[in-house]
Amino acid sequence: MADAKNAPKQPPKGSRLIPKGKLLAIGGKEDKGQGQAQDKDQNINFVDEQILKRFVTELKGDNPLVVVIPTASQEPVQSGQDYVQVFQQLGVANVQVMDIRTRRDALQPEHVETVNQAAGIMFTGGDQLRLTSIFGGTDLLEAMKERYAFTNIIIAGTSAGAAAMSTPMIYEGESDGGYIKGDVRLTTGLEFLKDVAIDTHFLARGRIVRMTQAIATNPECIGIGLEEDTAILVTEGGKVEVIGSGLITVVDGMGITETNIFDIQNGEPFTAKGLKVHLLGDKDEYFIPSYSRVQLK
């Protein structure tokens, strides 16, 4: 946990905490100025390095520290250095890689101090289950949540790093299907956003049905599917701005009138009626409905 003497005071009982920090969840394959964006030539909405430039713009303070966390990646050294390079090219001189590969690494107290000094944190892509299993329940994750709640830090994640931000978290599923009960596996994410499920590479990998299954299991949750080179910037805990060259898909199950998800056996197709689906593009806004609800600790 962050230093108790310097920790901000908790809000009074009964009040609703509005986070002062910002979240930037990226659908993967964001342009890094290396020409890798697949739709660059066809999409007139494409802007070079648009998402990462916005991350840099949101950093506060003189000589802000950006901490890159490549824990999700199977090639953490290369992944970390890729972001060091791109952030330096964008004018951020103070970039540090926090190379955490095990829970033992995550428990080292010096990492908490690094987080407390950071103006921005970037989780790379890879496997989101590595993030939750390594960071879950640690003082380091608690320090990140405190910074998000009480300071103007920006916390970003791409691909797996974005999927891990929410709760529930989809960590495995059939990308080409997801219509069979049991195909989609969920766990608790890092919980920066509650009652929201984030999925990435959403249109490119045909993941709308697997998201629908996740939402059908508890329609109070909102599903947000992020396409590649597309992101959401979340402010005030629930105000969403779309950034990037593609679309985000919002799956709203609160109006579901009928589903068989609780009656059928694993291996059978599920059904759901009454879903709302929104498609949003660059500069569009959306307000997460659960944001206005009573939040119980």
Q: Which residue numbers are catalytic?
A: 159, 201, 228
Cα-trace Rg, the chain: 19
Beta strand spans in the chain (E):
22-26, 66-69, 95-97, 120-123, 154-158, 166-167, 169-172, 185-187, 193-194, 196-200, 222-226, 230-235, 239-244, 248-252, 258-259, 272-273, 276-280, 285-287
- Provide the pairing of β-strand 239-244 with 258-259: unpaired
Q: Would the CA dihedral through 293, 272, 166, 104 be positive or negative? A: positive
| CA-closest candidate to residue 240, choices 210, 280, 295 | 280
The span from the CA of 287 to the CA of 289, in Å, is 6
